Amino acid sequence: MNSPLPHITAPRTPQTLQETGLSQILTCDILLKTMFRMGIEHVTSLAKTICLPQTLTQELVEILRGQKLLEATGTLHATSSREMGYKLSDAGKARAFDALAQSEYFGPMPVPLAQYRDQVRRQSIRNNRLTRDNLEAAMQHLIVPNTLLDQLGPAVGSGRSILLYGPPGNGKSSIANALRDAMGEQIYVPHALEYSGQTISFFDPLVHTRMFETHSNENALRLGDHARIDSRYTLCRRPAVVTGGELMLSMLDLAYNPVSRTYQAPLQLKASGGIFIVDDLGRQSEPPQDLINRWIVPMEMGYDILSLQSGEKFMVPFDTLVVFSTNFHPNKLFDGAALRRIFFKILINGPDQELFLKIFAMTARRRKMPLDEAAMLYLLKEKYPSINNLYANYHPVFLIDQIIAICDYEGIPYQMSPNLIDRAWENLFVQDTAIAH
């Protein structure tokens, strides 16, 4: 198993049930529900499933046996290392049914919110030190001016909010996504959180990318190693949540499923320690000003406020780099007060001719499209002057893919010519002509 990066302090495995920070009722209920739903009989399998050390799992089993909720099967199996099996008694099944009626959650034991806050501080994105080499490596698939790197570097390194704005098709979304790669590092993500007796599912495979399994080796305890990693967490890449026009304010609230009676962490909490990208700002059904207002307290104070179904409000850490990306001018979206609260505002403009040619050449090479001097001169001298030489980063990919489609259809080798440039150009813009009815 790989070793975690030394500058991120790993959460330590609890050595006693008290150190889990969870009530005995909650841990016993989750164990019973897990056995009932998954049909697990042996402590070794159960320990891996509920993400507690085998010693603590065995202690819970003994507590439940004392309460007549579990009973030994009285059989030893060679296939299970001669391990004793356990099953729910009738009273245990009734207790499991009752617990499931309260919440369908089972599996990994949750991490108390207070303990998670400590872990967030240890792996805060604001502790991340971004270097120019890191940023250039993350942007190597893009061609961007050095002046842009000069702006992006301090912005990302600060962990403060960023607004990327400018005309469409110039790589704002690609740049925002590359910023996550620039941050490198890995962090520990809990399977679930616990607050006020309620369990909140946290780990999301659509958001969190596991680096490797973090289950403890039980031999470590026997060897006296008390610094094992708490397997209620899993080591992941720093997360990146990307939302676009579908973003609604309700998606930033704690989600409650009334059927399963379970909670799901909101998007910005899942993005803790990583980046939250709001793409296409201004295309959402919610007014941009309302979205920014929702972020003001979290961005400035470092915490967010969530609510349970009971109405009880509680604070959760907000340790996320928020990146807004828009094709609109910021002055058309926000008032001055909202703009002041976005720490970095970076204009992403179209490339000049020199950068455009570099992008075109790189794209042609990747698409295995041979460049043709006459076709390129025709493009620069005849086509672009017709649109006031306004170059965009997406143009090379669009034009070359159009030419490839034509060549494939015509059954000819990939090639460029003024004629093919003309045919590709027709699809780059919609002609402003009347449509006959």
Query: Are 323 and 181 in the same domain?
Result: yes
Give the domain-ending residue among 321, 347, 373.
Answer: 347
User: pLDDT confidence of 152, banded at 50, 70, 90?
Assistant: confident
Closest C-alpha to 195, from 46, 307, 61: 307
In the prediction, which pLDDT does 214 show? 43
Query: Are 131 and 200 in the same domain?
Result: yes
Query: Are 154 and 76 in the same domain?
Result: no
> Is 98 inside a domain boundary?
yes
> Is 218 inside a domain boundary?
yes
In the prediction, which pLDDT does 215 show? 43
Query: Are 231 and 380 in the same domain?
Result: no
pLDDT tens track for 337-347: 888 888 899 88
Query: Are 241 and 151 in the same domain?
Result: yes
Question: How many angstroms separate the CA atoms of 183 and 134, rounded?
Answer: 7
User: pLDDT confidence of 311, banded at 50, 70, 90?
Assistant: very high
pLDDT tens track for 181-198: 777 678 999 999 999 999
The average confidence (pLDDT) of the chain is 87
163 lies in which domain range? 119-347
CATH of the domain at 58: 1.10.10.10
pLDDT tens track for 284-308: 888 888 888 888 888 888 899 999 9
pLDDT tens track for 213-223: 444 444 344 43
Query: Are 382 and 301 in the same domain?
Result: no
The number of distinct structural domains making up the chain is 3
- Torsion 150-126-131-175 (CA) sign: negative
Question: How many angstroms separate the CA atoms of 67 and 91, rounded?
Answer: 9
In the prediction, which pLDDT does 432 show? 53
Alpha helices in 139-191 (DSSP H): 146-158, 172-183
Give the domain-ending residue among 295, 330, 347.
Answer: 347
pLDDT tens track for 374-411: 999 999 999 999 999 999 988 999 999 999 999 999 99
Asked whether the predicted pLDDT for residue 436 surpasses 70, the reply is: no
Q: Helix axis angle, 43-50 relative to 54-66, nearest 10°?
A: 110
User: pLDDT confidence of 166, banded at 50, 70, 90?
Assistant: confident
In the prediction, which pLDDT does 79 show? 54
User: pLDDT confidence of 178, banded at 50, 70, 90?
Assistant: confident
Asked whether the predicted pLDDT for residue 99 surpasses 70, the reply is: yes
Instruction: Tell me whether residue 146 is exposed, middle or buried, using C-beta atoms within 10 angstroms of its C-beta: 0 to 12, 13 to 18, 19 or more.
Output: exposed
> Is 403 inside a domain boundary?
yes
DSSP 332: H
Q: Which two tokens stand for residue 297?
A: 């307290």
Q: Which of 54-58, 72-76, 145-149, 278-282 has the lowest mean pLDDT?
A: 72-76
Looking at per-residue confidence, does 22 or 284 come out higher? Answer: 22
> Is 16 inside a domain boundary?
no
Looking at per-residue confidence, does 147 or 313 come out higher? Answer: 313
> Is 435 inside a domain boundary?
no
Closest C-alpha to 415, from 359, 358, 362, 376: 376
pLDDT tens track for 231-273: 999 999 889 888 888 999 999 999 999 999 999 999 999 999 9
In the prediction, which pLDDT does 216 show? 43
Query: Are 40 and 189 in the same domain?
Result: no
Asked whether the predicted pLDDT for residue 226 surpasses 50, the reply is: no
Query: Are 228 and 369 in the same domain?
Result: no
Instruction: Evaluate whether 107 touches 49 at the Cβ level (below 8 Å).
Output: yes
Strand order, beta sheet including 192-195: 111-112, 192-195, 198-201, 262-264, 255-257
DSSP 241: E
Percent of the chain with pLDDT over 90: 56
Query: Are 92 and 125 in the same domain?
Result: no
User: pLDDT confidence of 435, banded at 50, 70, 90?
Assistant: low
> Is 431 inside a domain boundary?
no
Looking at per-residue confidence, does 333 or 63 come out higher? Answer: 63
Query: Are 315 and 332 in the same domain?
Result: yes
Closest C-alpha to 160, from 202, 197, 205, 126: 126
Query: Are 232 and 198 in the same domain?
Result: yes
Closest C-alpha to 57, from 257, 218, 168: 218
Query: Are 144 and 215 in the same domain?
Result: yes
